[in-house]
Every structure is written in C-alpha cells, then in structure tokens.
Amino acid sequence: MRMLDALAGNWAGDEEIATTRWGQGGPAKGFIHARIELGGRSLVQDYREERDGKIALQAHAVFVTGREHDQYSLYWFDSYGFVPGAPAPGLWDGQRFTFVRSSSRGQTRHIYALEGAGVLTLRLESSFDGGVSWERVMDGRYRRVDA
C-alpha cells in the first residue's frame, strides 16, 4: 500500500491548541480534505481550524513521495503567511510520518499517525533552538468522515 493513500479522504476532529508566541491556546475543531494527485506521487491536503465557529487557520499542503520508499517532502502554505522556501523533509517509520519545516521563524515538526481504522492524529511542535528542544503547538485527533 502506498502510505500517502492512507491519509487521503475527509477527516474531522477535535484539536487542543497550546498557548504559544503565535497565539492563545484552547480547543478547536479541525477539518482535512486530502486527495491523491499526480499518478499517486502526491497528496494534496486542504485544512481548516475553527474556533468558536469561525475559521482561525487555513492551510494548503502538498506531500510528495521521494525516490526511496520511506522518503517524503511536505510543502506547507497557510493563512498566517507561511510560504515554504524549501520542502520539509519527512520520513515514514512504519507507524507515522514526521516532517520538519524550517524557516526564519524556527522549525515546526508535523507528526501524522494512523491509529486503527479511520483515526488520524496530528501533533505540531515548534523549536526555536535548532531542534534541541520542542514545544507543543497542537494535538489533533480526527475521524474519517463521508465526503
């Protein structure tokens, strides 16, 4: 099975946002629509976070498979103004995808994991010291939903 296929579909769930230098924390709802493109070599994902019934963040992500079976890249664009200067390298370790985005604002680690049939988790963490220490930004737990 191609691992990106497992992330394709529509997902919805609860998120817990940490208070960070980027904003106030609290509960949120997350929605993901992801589809396989380019002959199965990429996954295009549209994401939105809602707080109090209003859109708080939107993102467009493109995941691309590498030449090696366990290598991937992530291109992330969001409504906070993040535009990637380079793709975030990532790996599939047999249980989860991990990507680390780097910019002048620091690093953000994305950890996507499938937990049984129809459950996806996502943890975002930030580092401002070159990856020596990491701060939790968000934990999300999503269930697959019909289109």
Q: Which residue has the higher pLDDT, 62 or 39?
A: 62
Closest CA to 2 of 45, 60, 42, 33: 42
pLDDT, position 66: 78
Q: What is the DSSP string of 50-104?
A: EETTEEEEEEEEEEEE-SSTTEEEEEEEETT----SSPEEEEE-SSEEEEEEEET
pLDDT, position 80: 83
0.75 surpassed by pTM: yes
Where are the domains positioned within the chain? 3-145
Alpha-carbon gap, residue 84 to 3, rounded angstroms: 23
pLDDT, position 1: 44
Q: How far is CA 107 from CA 35, 49, 76, 88, 99, in A?
A: 26, 20, 13, 10, 10
Residue 89 contacts residue 99 (beta carbons within 8 Å): yes
The CATH number corresponding to 3-145 among 3.40.50.740, 2.40.128.20, 3.40.50.620, 2.60.260.20 equals: 2.40.128.20
**What integer is the mean pLDDT of 102-126?**
91
Closest CA to 141 of 30, 49, 54: 30
Q: Which residue has the higher pLDDT, 63 or 24?
A: 63
**What integer is the mean pLDDT of 122-139?**
95
pLDDT, position 147: 57
